[in-house]
A and B are shown apart, each in its own frame.
Chain A
Amino acid sequence: MIGSEIPALIPITFILFAILIPVIGLWKRKVTWHLALLGSGIATALSAYGMMHIIQTGETIRYFFGGWSPPIGIEFVYDGLAAFIVLVINAIAFLVLIHSKKISQNEFPGKLTGYYAVTMLMMLGFNGMVLTGDLFNLYVFLEISSLSSYALIAIGEKRAPYAAFRYLIIGTVGGSLYLLGVGFLYTVTGTLNIIDMHAMLPQVIGHSSVVAALILMIIGIGVKAALFPLHGWLPDSYTYASSTSSAIIAPIGTKVAAYILIRVVLFLFGVELIDAALPVTTIIGIFAGIGILYGSIMAIAQSELKKMLAYSSVSQIGYIIMGLSLANPFGFIGAILHVLNHALMKALLFLVSGSMRLKEGHSLITKFDNSYRKKYPWTMAAFTTAAISMVGLPPLAGFFSKWYLALGTIENSSWMLLAVILISSLLNAVYFFRILEKVYLRNPEVDQTSAAESPAVQKDEVGFSMMMPMGIMALGLLIVGIFNAYIVDVIITMFPAGF
């Protein structure tokens, strides 16, 4: 059985393909897309197999690299939560890569080999961050993923390198703060292994190093997760990066960082210890709440679809972080479910914006009109599905993560946060229905003859390789919504100790 090897096999697949793609790409440039697809396909299959394995056996796989047992060696910990996140990010990356074929040829035709190789490296970093059981090793993977994402963001529009450079500066500071925090923790506990450190923390919790470490780590990870007010790098990076890069990084990157925050807050420190030194969860909750509203309001102000989606990401990541800050079972369920839901929604929305850029050459909301309804009926239907899910209307997936988050806020009597969830749903409705109105209704101010009815408008839908991933995601939103109870049953098995 390969079950127990899964945690090592997934990152190794990405390393292998990160090397294979340039090697074969030098000789045959056309196959790079196929190789990237194969690599992430294998990783997705492995993650799906691993998830099934975990659900069936219910055990946590601890994989010791080189046979060195921790705390001397490095271990990968493949529990339900890690398996779930790994499956989500690999499956989303796989779908986005399918969609990327035409876009990459259109947006950066000469750089395919490097692009896909770096994508594989970035996925290696993300998977490593999720799987590792070692805080320093986590930093290494964090840097791998960050460096590759700087590169991926830099491949884009004219302003992309600036955005990437800005992200690089801010991101490096974030990474360093995290590392500093880990260092402080190491000085008082003498270990880097998460499980080990969790066992030792109760003895040193009052120590000032621990308090400093906690603050440093949360700020460091907060930068990566774009937790308000540390989100400054995000809007430009997502907007000016190539469509494929934003479609991969937006749904995955900040989620992985949020996952690390969940690990640190709820697993490393744990529900009982986290608020012992200072009211961490309350503070995170406040910033998450402000971020949700800030992101939504900024999204309303945007006239560029990708920038709007970027601000919407700032807001949505707030939901996940708010869920963890509640530190109760409902909040946890909501946060984890929202990782999945938001990954699906945001990937789908960025794919639509990518498709629009390919077909129309722009994704300016102001230029949208109701001819799109006729030209891209299926793309627009997928967009509508994602939009309704973002607003949080049942029975689509978005409703249920908000439902659990709302239950979580009620359980803690956090009425302000409940109000934030409700208000931001309305704000989401404002910025999405604004687009839907443009796409589906004729503009009453321009003329009475509808653009959709002019004879020049023909159906011009994107090809199968682009439509298929979008269709799967749109269907996924409905299926996740209706059958969310099954997913929640699995999430319940991932609860940290203390729930």
Chain B
Amino acid sequence: MELTYIPLLAVLVSLAAVPFILLSSNKPNLREFWTIAAGIIKFLLVLTLLPSALDGETVSITLLEIAPNLPLVLEADSFGVFFAIIASGLWIFTSFYSIGYMRGHHETKQTRYFASFAVCLSSTIGIAFAGNLLTFIIFYEMLTLATYPLVIHSENKKAIAAGRKYLTYTLTAGLLLIAAAGITYSITGTLDFQAGGIFGDVELSQSMAITIFLLFLGGVGVKAGIMPLHSWLPSAMAAPTPVSALLHAVAVVKSGVFGVIRVVGFIFGPDVMASFGLNEILMILAGFTIIVASLLAFAQDNLKRRLAYSTVGHLSYIVLGTALLTETGLIGSIMHISTHATMKITLFFCAGAIMVNLHKKNISNMNGIAKVMPWTMGAFTIGSMGLAGIPPINGFVSKWYLGAGVLDGGMMLPLLILIISGLLNVGYFFPIIHRAYFKKGGSELEGHTEASPFMVVPLTGTAVLSVLFGVYPDLFFNFFDLATEIASTIF
């Protein structure tokens, strides 16, 4: 079968849904039908690329020369397919959940919401399939713009301030990325992503290497939430919960770490990284972020903000695993992209369900809620356990490989960081579970039952997926095989 056009179609399908969504703005059911149809088609299209990705083949299509010697290329390599499966698969869950959340919460401007969401997904898949840095930048900026209307959705002071902060951080990041790309292009004459890097054959001075790397890090590090570039993420929790769930736990932030891995593995390459000591910069920043973010998570009473800080920490797990420059470490990183995605989206779904159903945002008010929302809290427990790294949830698998990667690299400190942070994860999640199950709820809980099935089914679904992928990491999508394949191409 001819696969060449599949990456293009996968990018375009949600973009094509936008006019339909806008036109059916007065018929909510039809409007949401377009979103879900686009989501399912997109997912199926991405899945057709899986077999070739598992064989280590890339499906690529050159669209047009957007600048001399710099074509717009979509290239579905194994890493791209891996990310695209996660993003487009979880979009289907989020779409159903959005229906329950947005209607349950009586949100206005739902058309703008669903339309922007569709553009975000197109951009995310574009980022996944970008064959060179320029294509990556184009979709990266598109994602920035398309997320903005979602961040300011409620249009109150807090949301607008969050939107400004978001734009300041991400636009600056985009510019740094452009500068980095420009310098890279003038040195290497290419911007193609090549497994093993493009800096291998050129002379590079130490100061130049560090400058370029820091520019890149500024570019992709903002979306990856590396401290001190993370502070937009907790603010962006002003967005509706499905946005926090898919974009600020999966699509946008994972685009950032995806970018980090692209930069480390496909632009610089492990050898150049190691010879200039760039991985040490990355490792220090990531280690710092993991510990500090976990500590900050303790201080948050607002559930979504606690989850946001947890996300910041877990993103740096991925960055840390990449910085190890060992094959096992990279497998752990890549696996953590998928495992953190299913777990964190579950937790955000739960937070949103609690908010819509019980109007509770703060953890201190969540006494006894497990009695009225057993499914939601069950899913929450699974997600929390997974993030703490307890088997058999999938978080254990990725953490195991991260740990093994550290040992492969012969380092002790990162291992210590992983262990401490695992304990901190337990520390900030289990009080919530304890409250929900073992403390007596107030009278306001009376008369409330479980949230709408539109929310409960998706959140149970993602929780079940977390368990299934924990037991069989290769179930359905061969995530583990893909991760191994990607790592083997780089090293």
- A, B in one complex: yes
The interface of chain A, by Cβ under 8 A from chain B, is 388, 391, 393-395, 399-400, 402-404, 406-407, 410-411, 418, 422, 425-426, 429, 433, 437, 441-442, 444-445, 450, 482-485, 488-489, 492
Question: Hey, which chain B residues are within 8 Å of A400, CB to CB?
Answer: 66-67
Whether the Cβ atoms of B160 and A441 lie closer than 8 Å is yes
**B185 contacts chain A at the CB level, 8 A cutoff:** yes
Select A395's contact among B66, B164, B176, B178, beta carbons within 8 Å: B66
A437 touches B138 (CB 8 A): no
Stretch from B151-159, B352-360, B446-454 forming part of the interface with A: B151-159
Contacts of A485 in B (CB 8 A): 64-68
Contact A488 B67 (CB under 8 A): yes
Question: Does residue B175 face the partner (Cβ distance < 8 Å to A)?
Answer: yes
Known: A407-B186, A429-B171. A388 touches B145 (CB 8 A): yes
Q: Chain B: interface residue count, which band?
A: 20 to 34
| Residues in B whose Cβ lies below 8 Å from that of A393 | 141-142, 144-145, 174
Q: Does B390 contact A (CB under 8 A)?
A: no
Ranked nearest first, the 7 interchain pairs of A and B with the lowest CB-CB distance are: A485-B65, A394-B138, A422-B175, A444-B157, A406-B182, A410-B186, A393-B141
A456 CB to closest chain B CB, in angstroms? 19
- Pull 18 A–B residue pairs with CB atoms less than 8 Å apart, ordered by A: A394-B137, A395-B138, A406-B179, A406-B182, A407-B185, A410-B186, A422-B175, A422-B178, A426-B175, A429-B167, A429-B171, A437-B163, A450-B155, A482-B64, A483-B64, A484-B66, A485-B65, A488-B67
Partner of A444 from B144, B160, B164 at Cβ < 8 Å: B160
Chain A: minimal CB distance from B29 (Å) = 23
Q: Which residues of A contact B185 (CB under 8 A)?
A: 407
**Chain B, interface SS category:** helix
Residues of chain A contacted by B168 (CB below 8 angstroms) = 426
Residues in chain A near residue B415, CB distance under 8 A? none
Interface residues of B (CB under 8 A from A): 64-68, 137-138, 141-142, 144-145, 152, 155-157, 160, 163-164, 167-168, 171-172, 174-176, 178-179, 182-183, 185-186
- A373 → B minimal CB distance (Å): 11
CA A441 – CA B152 in complex, angstroms?
8
Contact across chains for A445 and B186 when beta carbons are under 8 A apart: no
Determine whether the beta carbon of B66 is less than 8 Å from that of A482: yes
Residue from the set A394, A422, A489 with the largest chain B CB neighbour count within 10 Å: A394
Report yes or no: A426 in contact with B67, Cβ–Cβ below 8 A. no
Query: Cβ of A410: which chain B residues have Cβ within 8 Å of it?
Result: 182-183, 186
CB-CB nearest in chain B for A404: B67
**What is the number of contacts between chain A and chain B, taking CB atoms within 8 Å?**
74
Enumerate chain A residues within 8 angstroms of B171, measured Cβ to Cβ: 391, 425-426, 429
Question: Which interface residue of A395, A403, A418, A437 has the most chain B CB atoms within 10 A?
Answer: A403
Which B residues are CB-close (under 8 A) to A394? 137-138, 141-142
Chain B residue, CB-CB nearest to A442 = B155
Other contacts beyond A393-B145, A406-B182, A425-B171: 14, CB < 8 A: A388-B145, A394-B141, A395-B142, A399-B141, A406-B178, A410-B182, A411-B186, A418-B182, A422-B179, A429-B167, A433-B167, A437-B160, A482-B66, A483-B64
For B156, the chain A residues whose CB sits under 8 A away are 444
CB-CB under 8 A from B174, the residues of chain A are 393
Closest chain B CB from A69 CB (angstroms): 38
Q: A411 contacts which chain B residues (CB < 8 A)?
A: 186
Expressed in whole angstroms, the Cα–Cα distance for A429 and B65 within the complex equals: 27
Cα–Cα, bound, A488→B179 (Å): 20
Bound together, the chains give a CA A237 to CA B168 distance in angstroms of 33
Measured between beta carbons, the chain B residues less than 8 angstroms from A418 are 179, 182
Rounded to whole angstroms, the CA-CA distance of A391 and B66 in the bound complex is 19
C-alpha gap A171/B186 in the complex (Å):
40
| A406–B172 alpha-carbon span in the complex (Å) | 15
Residues of A within 8 A of B141 (CB): 393-394, 399
Q: State A4–B164 Cα separation when bound (angstroms).
A: 55
- C-alpha gap A437/B151 in the complex (Å): 13
Complexed CA–CA distance, A482 and B156 (Å): 36
Kindly list chain A residues whose C-beta atoms are within 8 Å of the C-beta of B137.
394
Complex formed: what's the CA distance from A410 to B125 in Å?
Answer: 31
CA of A437 to CA of B148, assembled, Å: 11
Cβ of A425 and Cβ of B138 under 8 Å apart?
no
